[in-house]
Chain A
Amino acid sequence: MKALSQKRRHPLAAIALLLMGLLVTGGLYAVAGTVNEAQATTTTYSAQDIEEGEKLFVANCATCHGIGAVGAPEGAHGLQAGPSLIGVGAAAVDFQVGTGRMPMQMTGPQAQQKPKQFTEEQTMQLAAYVASLGAGPAVPEEEFLDASQGNPAEGGELFRVNCAMCHNAAAAGGALTRGKFAPTLSGVSEKHIYEAMVTGPQNMPVFSDANITPEGKRDIIAFLKTIEAQGSPGGLALGSLGPVSEGLLMWTAGLGVVIAFTIWLTQRSS
């Protein structure tokens, strides 16, 4: 606060304030004009959050996403360093930065999860800035993140139809093409699960509220938290990876036991 009050007489302060005002107005207009995903997008962030967020953005994200988050120009082979973030919404920022996927450590098939580099407050400020650029999914409200209010049975059905093909029936994750993969969902916070569904990070498709209602998303979260808490009904799950880990165990340990028994059977007693 002190730093800000010292800067208020800065010659650029008026311009910054004007810019912020324009961004907020534009953002609000875009919210009003968009049919989908427009609940309470930019309304909860203060102008100061947006300003701090922009500073963080310029210092940490603009290298790839461009000044003003318009995206980097396409380089060789039509590859783009970072996509435009206008309209991705606060939820996308909160997910990508909150799980440590952004800032990206190195280019590769997909951004990997790692220890997060920004505090809760900084993440919120970045989200505020990006949300001010254009309407997009907001950070979800608490009531839709409470797994105890969800119905795990219905969530399980939605999960098997919409999610299980990539994330595995036991939510243990699975492989995609060319080095990409769907990560495990165990240990992911309720908020990040919800945000991934509404924003579709990286190669995950978007599951907007028009596709799966917020209540349906809460049911899915309830299902995931239930299977995470109760564990595998059949004993040792071996990572729930199916035939790969189970086959490996049987071909090595199982056959090893069979070989040990045959050696013992044919050996003379001392």
Chain B
Amino acid sequence: MGDHSHGGPKSSGTVATAGQGEVEKFQDPGLPPHRPRLADKDPRAEKRAERQVAILFVISIIGTLLFFVGYFAIRLDDTIATLRLQNFLLGMGTCFAMLGIGVGIVHWAKTLMPDHEIAEERHEVRTEEDRQIAETMVGEIIEETGIKRRPLIRNTLLGAMILAPLPAIGIFRDLSKEIDPDVLRHTMWDAGVRLTRDPDGTPIRASDVTIGSAFHVIPEGLNEAEHKLEEKAKAVVLLMRLHPDDLNVSPGREDWNYNGIVAYSKICTHVGCPVALYEQQTHHLLCPCHQSTFDLTQECKVIFGPAAHALPQLPISVDDEGYLIATSDFHEPVGPSYWERG
């Protein structure tokens, strides 16, 4: 550090006047004096450090052996206890195997290997002469390729380089064509499709849905569908029954509910998490991912959170046998927004 003793306060008053004095130019203090470590001076300390490093490597060996004990010696049976023991041995074994080597090498380098400080001088900046040599070399290379003298080669190369990236445009365009926006517009629901219980697919009678109930619903025939999971991801519905007085039905949706039984898409309009946290007293539906909250009494209008629009409602009715059916598909695409949604 620089010596500041000449820059002291001009008066001996209690008011601090530091900084008013002239600061001397900073002197390079050089390297601190070399201080020998304990292991450099004391042979016993050196032996001790050597043993410590060896012990750390032995810990690593034991860790690897533990891994193999867990991997080969533990027979998994029906209980979860063996699985837990195996997980524990695999994890702890790998942990000690790696840490033992790592900590051992660092400890070895710090205590036993030479620790003389060395200053490496910076290389000199290249001279103008060197720069000119490099320039001449580049010029020679261009001359030797003959690109200036052979316009045929130059032009064909340029043409090839311009055309080469074009396939990439085709490939990425295919990616966007794969997602047919029409797929997102339609679900398995259609007029007359029965509402069935998730997961067993048994139909639901309107009288089964008591006030305060919540049913997790899939369309009839989903379990036999070809692309079951893709269809389920779009078609899942939450079915709830409220007092009909609690529902504020907008014009055009008068016959979408059945005696206060309403069905709404379970796919959040934000990023598509299943909105299934139904509070039967407040009639709020909460999405667990980003806390978007929908008010069931106002046709699932967003009342909190990042979702952009209300959950789509599935128009429902009952068939001759008293089972709940859909009267059409959703009237708008379910789930998050996309470019073509409009």
Contact = CB atoms under 8 A, between A and B. Distances in A.
The B interface, classified by DSSP as helix, strand, loop or mixed, is mixed
Contact of A269 (B39, B87, B91, B288): B39
A36 B211 CA distance: 11
Contact of B286 (A157, A177, A211, A265): A177
Nearest to A36: B210
B55 to A, nearest CB: 17
The A interface, classified by DSSP as helix, strand, loop or mixed, is loop
Interface size class of A (residues with CB under 8 A): 35 or more
B216 interface: yes
A204 B213 CA distance: 9
Interface in B176-200: 197-199
A13 interface: no
Contacts of B291: 177
B85 to A, nearest CB: 10
A165 B276 contact: yes
A166 B278 CA distance: 8
Given A36-B207, A206-B212, A210-B208, A200 B279 contact: no
Interface string B242-281: 0000000000000000000000000000000010111111
Given A157-B199, A161-B198, A166-B277, A211 B213 contact: yes
A231 interface: yes
A206 B280 contact: yes
Interface size class of B (residues with CB under 8 A): 35 or more
A203 interface: yes
Contacts of B304: 177
A45 interface: no
Contacts of B278: 205
Contacts of B207: 35-36, 210
B293 A177 contact: yes
Interface of B: 37-39, 79-81, 83-84, 87-88, 91, 106, 110-111, 115, 197-199, 204-205, 207-216, 240, 274, 276-282, 284, 286, 288, 291, 293, 304
Interface of A: 35-37, 157-158, 161-162, 165-166, 174, 176-177, 180, 182, 200, 202-208, 210-211, 230-235, 264-265, 267-270
